[in-house]
Amino acid sequence: MNAVFPTPDAADSQRLLSPDELEAALRDIGARRYHILHPFHRLLHDGKLSKDQVRAWALNRYYYQAMIPVKDAAVLARMTDASLRRVWRQRIVDHDGDHPGDGGIERWLKLAEGVGFERDYVLSTRGILSATKFSVEAYVHFVAEKSLLEAIASSLTEMFSPTIISERVAGMLKNYDFITKDTLAYFDKRLTQAPRDADFALDYVKTHATTPELQRQAMAALTFKCNVLWTQLDALYFAYVAPGMIPPDAWTPGTGLVAEAPAAQASGGVRKMVADDRPRLPRGVRLRHDETRGKHVLLAPERTFDLDDNAVAVLKLVDGNRSVAAIADELGRTYVADPRAIEADILVMLDGLAEKRVLER
Ligand SMILES: O=C(O)c1cc(C(=O)O)c2c(n1)C(=O)C(=O)c1cc(C(=O)O)[nH]c1-2
C-alpha cells in the first residue's frame, strides 16, 4: 500500500499486460480505492470515535462477516474443477469453523459482545443499516452472476487487508480503553488467512486473465469490490458520524446491549472519569439556552439542571469525540490558564453530572 504503482495509461486497456504489469495495475487500484483510505477508518484507528460509533461499526461489519461464507459458497458453486474447490472451500471452513463456537463468524460475535452487544441482537441482524445490506448483497450477487475470473478477482482486496488489520489492531488497542486484545482476536487469524487466500487468488487471476478484455474485467471486479467496502463505511459515517442521520429501524445507541455489570453500577453506577474519556450527553439530554431565565440549562427527560458558567463552557465542548484532556487543553487556550489544573476541576464536575446520569463516557 505504501509503494507507488504506475497508473496504467489509456493505451494499456487495449494491450495485453504481462502478469507482473497486471499485478501492478491491481495493486494500484487498491492504493487508490481500498477502504484504508476512508475517513471512517481513520477515525476508528486514531481513537476518534465514541464507544457507540465503534459499536455501530462492529454491528454492521458483522453482516459482512456472516455473508462472506455465503459469497464463497456461490463462488464454489461456479467451480467445475475439484482441485480449485478443494482450495476455496477452506475459506468457508475458516469463517464457519468445524464446530459450533468455532470460526471467524463466532470470533466476530465475540468482538461485538466485547463492545457491549447482546449476542442475540447481533445474530438477529435487526439494526444493520440497509446500505450495509445492499452493499454486502451486491457482492454476493456479483460473484454469482459474473465469470469465475471476476468472482475470484473481486476477493483480491484481501491483498491489502493485512496492512489495514495491523494498523487497526494497534490503533484500537492504544486508543480505546474498552478494547482488549481478546476482543480483537478475530484479526489474529486473518493475518495468516488473508495473505494465503490473496496469493492463491492473485496467482489464479495472473494465470487466467490472458486477454486485454479479461484483464480489464479482473480490474473492474477489484474496483467493484473496493466500492463494496467503501460504501459500507460511507453509510456508517453518514448515520453515526456526520450528519448523524440514523435511518428508521437502524441501530440506535442503547439498543441491543447487555446491561452494565453490577460493579460498574455501584456508587451511582459510574466509574470515575479519567482524562482519556470522551464524555458525551446521553440520548435525550440537551444543552439549551433558557430564553426567559437568560441562562443555559441541561434538559433531561422530565428534569432540568441549572448550570454555572464554567459548566456551560465545558459542556459546549462535550461531543463524544473530544477527551477530557482535549477539552481542558481547549479551555486552557481560551482562558490562558494551566490546562492540567482545569482538567482536575472539570473531572470533578463531569463526575458529578455522570452521577446524575446526564453525562456518559
Ligand atoms: O478487516 C478488513 O479490513 C477486511 C477486509 C477484507 C477485504 O479486503 O475484503 C476482508 C476482511 N477484513 C475479512 O476479515 C474477511 O474475512 C474477508 C473475506 C473477504 C473476501 O472478499 O472474500 N474479504 C475480507
Q: Residue 325 sits in a domain of what CATH number?
A: 1.10.10.1150
Query: In terms of residue numbers, what domain contains 306?
Result: 286-356
Give the DSSP H or E segment for 203.
Answer: helix 186-208
Residue 43: inside a domain, yes or no? Answer: yes
d(CA 60, CA 127): 8
What DSSP character marks residue 305?
Answer: E
How confident is residue 344, by pLDDT bands cut at 50, 70 and 90?
low
pLDDT on residue 211: 98
Q: Based on the domain organization, do 233 and 161 belong to the same domain?
A: yes
Q: Based on the domain organization, do 233 and 290 belong to the same domain?
A: no
Mean pLDDT of the chain: 89
Q: From ligand 1's centre to the CA of 244, what distance in Å?
A: 26
Cell of 16: 495485453
Q: Based on the domain organization, do 214 and 309 belong to the same domain?
A: no
Q: Based on the domain organization, do 134 and 223 belong to the same domain?
A: yes
Nearest CA to ligand 1 atom 10: 158
Evaluate if residue 1 carries a pLDDT over 50. no
CB contact at 8 A, 249 and 132: no
Q: Based on the domain organization, do 205 and 301 belong to the same domain?
A: no
Nearest CA to ligand 1 atom 5: 161
Q: Based on the domain organization, do 142 and 237 belong to the same domain?
A: yes
* DSSP assignments along 41-88, one per residue: HHHHHTT-S-HHHHHHHHHHHHHHHHHHHHHHHHHHHH---HHHHHHH
Best residue among 75, 190, 204, 229 to mutate for probing ligand 1's pocket (most ligand atoms within 8 Å of CB) is 190
Q: From ligand 1's centre to the CA of 8, what distance in Å?
A: 26
pLDDT on residue 297: 73
Long-range contacts of 332-337 (CB under 8 A, 24+ apart): none
Q: What count of other Cβ atoms lies within 10 Å of the Cβ of residue 2?
A: 5
pLDDT on residue 2: 45
Share of the chain above pLDDT 70, in %: 87
Q: Based on the domain organization, do 216 and 294 belong to the same domain?
A: no
Nearest CA to ligand 1 atom 16: 65
Q: Based on the domain organization, do 236 and 317 belong to the same domain?
A: no
d(CA 353, CA 347): 10
Last residue of a domain, one of 241, 266, 300: 241
ipTM value greater than 0.85 = yes
Q: Based on the domain organization, do 197 and 331 belong to the same domain?
A: no
Q: What residue ranges line ligand 1, CB within 6 angstroms?
A: 68, 104, 155, 157-158, 161, 164-165, 190, 229
Residue 11: inside a domain, yes or no? Answer: no
pLDDT on residue 296: 74
Q: Based on the domain organization, do 161 and 227 belong to the same domain?
A: yes
Helices (H) and strands (E) in the chain, counts: 15, 3
Evaluate if residue 268 carries a pLDDT over 70. no
Coil, strand or helix at 331: helix
C-alpha atoms less than 13 angstroms from C-alpha of 40 in its C-beta half-sphere: 23
Q: Based on the domain organization, do 290 and 200 belong to the same domain?
A: no
Residue 347: inside a domain, yes or no? Answer: yes
CB contact at 8 A, 298 and 358: yes
Find cell 465514541 and name the residue. 50
Residue 344: inside a domain, yes or no? Answer: yes
Q: Based on the domain organization, do 227 and 107 belong to the same domain?
A: yes
Residue 153: inside a domain, yes or no? Answer: yes
Q: What count of other Cβ atoms lies within 10 Å of the Cβ of residue 20?
A: 9
The tally of domains found in the chain comes to 2
d(CA 289, CA 299): 10
- If one compares 12 and 89, the residue with the highest pLDDT of the two is 89
Q: From ligand 1's centre to the CA of 145, what distance in Å?
A: 20
How confident is residue 50, by pLDDT bands cut at 50, 70 and 90?
very high
Best residue among 96, 158, 191 to mutate for probing ligand 1's pocket (most ligand atoms within 8 Å of CB) is 158
d(CA 103, CA 90): 11
- Over residues 275-314, the pLDDT tens digits come to 778 888 887 788 888 777 677 777 776 556 567 778 788 8
Share of the chain above pLDDT 90, in %: 68
